[in-house]
Amino acid sequence: IGCDTSFELLKICRNRSFEALQCNCLQLPYRSCVFDAAICIAVIHHLASEERRIAAIKEIVRILRAGGRALIYVWAMEQKRGKNISSYLKQNKATWKASGEDNTRENSNLEIRNHSSVSSDYLPVHTNRTEFIEQDMLVPWKMKSQKKGVHAKYKSSDLKGAENIPNESSLCSVELPDSVRGNNNAEPFPVFHRYYHVFKQSELESLCTKVEEVNILKSYYDEGNWCVIFEKKLA
């Protein structure tokens, strides 16, 4: 049984005859102690506090039977491991030069401010397909559609790891440089921003150990992600 907050992702599942429902990862609509296994991929890194991330893990543990196992994947801050480069960075067609790395740092520090708030707090806006500088950030997602009033169509790879898309009116506004704006004569595509907390080495493992019923079986790195397999302890 699959679940997600994104209605568009759920439609993909339904179209492929998979059973899936819409829900909140902090309040799963399942009975306790009934599942043999659970998989949580690209979800917890969208939660904005450690308390909420722990709460999500507790919900996974709650629905597992004693001895049941879970696999959790989160985005890693370390997109380079020695000579190995993640597929996320490999998709950047730009040549990696010293000047390019400097530009990455400059672009990654663009500030996004909520004009409806008096708070001076801000999050950096990440430059796609580049190394991460901060653990907490906003990642831009350009929505493309052929016509006004027509829902955009996406490849499955575009939707991977994405949460439900918020209404444009609820978003903060971002001042983009001219190079990003593109042709002024063309109608600009709306840019939405998703929150991410990228995990450092051992951070996910440490988070899981804060849940009493968790027994970690394996912790590893996989293509730009930190992963943990754990077992729910026997009563």
Confidence of residue 160 (pLDDT cuts 50, 70, 90): very low
Is the pLDDT score of 101 beyond 90? no
Per-residue pLDDT, 94: 61
Question: What are the angstrom distances between the C-alpha of 42 and each of 159, 165, 169?
Answer: 11, 15, 25
Q: Give the start-end residues of each E strand in the chain.
A: 2-4, 20-22, 35-41, 64-75, 80-81, 84-85, 110-112, 123-125, 136-142, 191-197, 214-222, 225-232
Question: What is 31-76+199-232's CATH topology?
Answer: Rossmann fold (3.40.50)
Question: Cα(first)–Cα(last) distance of the chain, in Å?
Answer: 25
Q: Please say if the pLDDT value at position 24 is more than 50.
A: yes
Q: Which residues pair with 218 in a beta bridge?
A: 229
pTM equals 0.73
What is the residue extent of each domain of the chain? 31-76+199-232, 80-197
pLDDT tier at 183, thresholds 50, 70, 90: low
So what's the pLDDT on residue 170? 37
Euclidean distance between CA atoms 52 and 48, whole angstroms: 7
Average pLDDT, the chain: 80
78-87, 140-149, 164-173, 175-184: range with highest mean pLDDT: 78-87
In the predicted structure, residue 80 carries a pLDDT above the cut 90: yes
pLDDT band at 155 (very low <50, low <70, confident <90, very high): very low
Tell me which residue has tokens 């008096």. Answer: 118
Residue 37 CB neighbour total at 10 angstroms: 11
Residue 93, pLDDT score: 66
Neighbours of 25 (CB within 10 A): 21
